[in-house]
Amino acid sequence: MAGLATTFGSGAMTNTINELDQSQVILVAGSNTTRTHPQVARRIYNAVDRGAKLIVIDPRKTKIARHAHIHLQINPGTDIALLNGMMRCILDENLIDDLFIEMRTENYLALRDMLLAVDLDKIEKITGVSRSTIARAARTYAHARRAAICYCLGVTQHICGTANVESYANLAMLTGHVEQEFTGVDPLRGQYNVQGACDMGALPAVLPGYQSVFDPDIRKKFARAWGCQLPENQGRTLLDMTHGARNAGLADERPDPLKVMYIMGENPMLSDPTLGRVKATLEGLDFLVVSDIFLSETAELADVVLPAACFAEKTGTVTNSERRVQYSKKAVNPPGEARPDRLIIQELATLMGYPMAYGSAAEIMEEICLLTPVYGGIYHDRLQRSWGLQWPCPDREHPGTPFLHKYSFTRGKGHFTPQHHVDVAEPVTDDYPLALITGRSYHHYHTGTMSRKSALLNREHPRPRVNMNPQDAEKLGLAEGMRVRVSSRRGSVPYILHLTDEVPPGELSSDFHFREAPTNMLTIGASDPIAHCPEYKCCAVKVEVDHV
């Protein structure tokens, strides 16, 4: 998100999901869309049925890549090089949108100078995609009047994730593919309410509505509303928290590890990279509190576990990937003594000497509306009478905003940020000759806490699989269905081998839904310096037969 925030001023999908139906060209990057965003994939297929061209950038031959008119099967982590190649072609063939660049953007000359120095032969070598294919994709994207880019974690989960996103934004601005209906740059947000959690300021550097904690006026506004002083120092990001344990015996510059953690409905013991370090950190805490609906791998380590209500047992709002704030209504009572997290937090705050007395979720929303300009008119009563409202929605009369950046970018002018290729943090070696890419399965969700409790979903995908190209399997003497052990420098995990040409030779792919095969034992903690997104999409591993 940080990448779009610097270039456009707002880190969210610029369009609605339904607009994709009408696009002429759709560029899908680092997204296994049919699996992880089935409704988005449905719109993309609708568009293709109507004659739209589909370009997919992905190292894997995913289902959507098989249906693409042009599949740019790049080497993992080479998006920037590919995009610089595409933009160079667009520049050489004069397919740029001069008027848009002149009126709506800044820093174009820096981008142009960088592109003119680009060596297309070198790009061919880095990306593994031929010059002619890159040029064909560039022309297809640039010629369209309405072209949308959909990207997902394959773009962001790299050490250069922010730079990757900025490069996609460069491409869109160079060709004027922003600001209109059916046209834009759309980060597909993966989880239920990940957009909302960001919007609500569950991030170290921002208060609700992306208002900076470093701005004294903003802090003053919240201090007055909340009746307390607000902290002004930099908070810790997720990885700073869950990777806090210091390496024994090594000189370590990091600050003291945390003493206490409060974790609401998250499972870092499966979801975070380099699980060995996460475990050491959580076990090293003086006190760990977890509220969850199941005894997750993280809750098993806790000192206090609080039983929470699930989505069907409480009323509230959630925000989907297209910024649509929607009303979710309580249907049944929570089991036993379980309570909604709202009541747990209110009671804890009251016990700690800060009374929080909200009678309902609607009352909390009123406070959010008052303090958060982009949510200013999103009251519960309006949501109950509609299919939700898309922010920005500054007041009660505002109808919401289906697509962003009409007439001007949130930050004023769109900012071109030239970027250069960055090598992956852990290239393959003779000892660890394969690159592991992690992703998601169609039948499971995140750490499997919910989906693995579902009989049908578990029946469809009961065992942890690792996908390998048949050519590699033949070389290693492995066969479909064998028990194998995948090892990296950090750990080793057992899987069932699945042979498929979805992954190219030299690469493996797997998911992280299974506690019996915690893929994140293998992954590296190296992360993007700005967004702190770990490099899940590439780490060096080897495969052996598991003789158990």
Partner 1 sequence: MPDIPTICCYCGCGCGLYLHVEDDRVIGVSPSRNHPVSRNNLCVKGWHAHEFIHSPKRLTRPLIRKKDRLQPASWQEALELTANRLLHIKEHHGADAIGVLSSAKCSNEENYLLQKFTRAVIGTNNIDHCARL
Residue 281 neighbours by CB distance under 10 Å:
21
- Does 42 engage in binding with partner 1 (CB under 8 A)? yes
- Is 530 a binding residue for partner 1 by CB under 8 A? The answer is no
Q: Would you count residue 194 as binding partner 1 (CB under 8 A)?
A: yes
Q: Candidates 72, 123, 241, 499: give the one binding partner 1 (CB under 8 A).
A: 241
Antiparallel, parallel or unpaired: β 492-499 and 483-487: antiparallel
Q: 352: which residues sit within 8 A by CB, 6+ positions away? A: none
400 near partner 1 (CB under 8 A)? no
Report the residue number, 1 or 81, with the smaller CB distance to partner 1: 1
195 binds partner 1 (CB under 8 A): yes
Applying the rule CB under 8 A, the residues between 204 and 223 that interact with partner 1 are 204-205, 207-208, 213, 222
Q: Which region, judged by CB under 8 A, interacts with partner 1, from 124-132, 194-202, 463-471, 496-504?
A: 194-202
Q: Is 268 a binder of partner 1 (CB under 8 A)?
A: yes
Beta-bridge partners for 415: 106
Backbone phi and psi for residue 186, each to the nearest 5 degrees, phi listed first: -120, 100
Q: Which residues pair with 27 in a beta bridge?
A: 55, 149
**Window of 71-79, 139-147, 268-276, 410-418 that interacts with partner 1 by CB under 8 A:** 268-276
Phi-psi region of 532 (alpha: psi -120 to 50; beta: other; left: phi over 0): left
Task: Give the one residue of 27, 55, 135, 293 binding partner 1; rule: CB under 8 A.
Answer: 293
Contact between 50 and 102 under an 8 Å Cβ cutoff? The reply is: no
Dihedral over alpha carbons 180, 183, 185, 187 (to 10 degrees): 110
Q: CB under 8 A: which stretch of 32-40, 114-122, 135-143, 492-500 binds partner 1?
A: 32-40
**Binding-site member from 6, 133, 410, 454 for partner 1 (CB under 8 A):** 454
The least CB distance from residue 447 to partner 1, in Å, is: 9
Q: Is 456 in the site for partner 1 (CB under 8 A)?
A: yes
* Tokens representing residue 285 in the block: 């805490």
Query: Does 455 sit near partner 1 (CB under 8 A)?
Result: yes
For position 537 contacting partner 1 by CB under 8 A, the verdict is: no
Residue 370 found at the interface with partner 1 (CB under 8 A): no
Q: Is position 253 an interface residue for partner 1 (rule: CB under 8 A)?
A: no
Task: Using CB under 8 A, count the residues that bind partner 1.
Answer: 142
* Interface with partner 1, residue 203, by CB under 8 A: yes
Q: What are phi and psi of 438, to 5 degrees?
A: -100, 150
**Distance from CA of residue 172 to its chain's centroid?**
20
The enclosing H or E element of 307 equals strand 304-307
533 near partner 1, judged by CB under 8 A: yes
CB of residue 27 to partner 1, shortest distance in Å? 19
CB 256 to partner 1: min, Å: 7
Q: Which residues contact 459 (CB under 8 A, 6 or more apart)?
A: none
The answer to the question of residue 381 lying near partner 1 (CB under 8 A) is: no
CB of 516 to partner 1, least distance (A): 16
Position 450 contacts partner 1 (CB under 8 A): yes
* Member of 98, 283, 300, 544 binding partner 1 (CB under 8 A): 300
Cα–chain center distance at 347: 32
Instruction: Kindly indicate which of the ranges 85-93, 127-135, 199-207, 465-473 contains the residues binding partner 1, using the contact rule CB under 8 A.
Output: 199-207
Position 243 contacts partner 1 (CB under 8 A): no
Which residue in 263, 393, 428, 437 binds partner 1 (CB under 8 A)? 263
> Of 366, 392, 404, 385, whose CA–CA distance to 326 is shortest?
385
Check binding of 266 to partner 1 (CB under 8 A): yes
CA distance linking residue 60 with residue 74, whole number of Å: 8
Question: Do 183 and 177 contact (CB within 8 A), yes or no?
Answer: yes
- Taking CA atoms, 35 is separated from 12, 519, 530, in Å, by 21, 19, 28
Sheet holding 147-151, edge to edge: 70-72, 53-57, 25-29, 147-151, 184-187
397 sits near partner 1 (criterion: CB under 8 A): no
246 scored as a contact of partner 1 (CB under 8 A): no
340 binds partner 1 (CB under 8 A): yes
Stretch that binds partner 1, among 11-19, 406-414, 415-423, 474-482 (CB under 8 A): 11-19
Give the x/- contact pattern for partner 1 in 317-336, rule: CB under 8 A.
xxxxxx-xxxxxxxxxx-xx
Of 65-124, which residues contact partner 1 (CB under 8 A)?
none
Q: What are the angstrom distances between the C-alpha of 391 and each of 30, 399, 421?
A: 26, 9, 34
Nearer of residues 99 and 455 to partner 1, judged by Cβ:
455
Select from 543, 501, 317, 537 the least CA-distant residue to 426.
537
- Which amino acid, residue 173? M
Residues in the chain: 548
346 binding partner 1? (CB under 8 A): yes
- 442 in contact with partner 1 (CB under 8 A): yes
Look at the block and give the residue holding tokens 């769109």.
Answer: 414
Distances in Å between the Cα of 327 and the Cα atoms of 324, 346, 372, 380, 538 are 10, 21, 18, 7, 38
Which residue in the set 95, 118, 120, 310 belongs to the binding site for partner 1 (CB under 8 A)? Answer: 310
342 near partner 1, rule: CB under 8 A: yes
Q: Shortest CA distance to 26 belongs to which of 10, 8, 1, 46?
A: 46
In the complex with partner 1, the residue whose CB is nearer, 100 or 536, is: 536
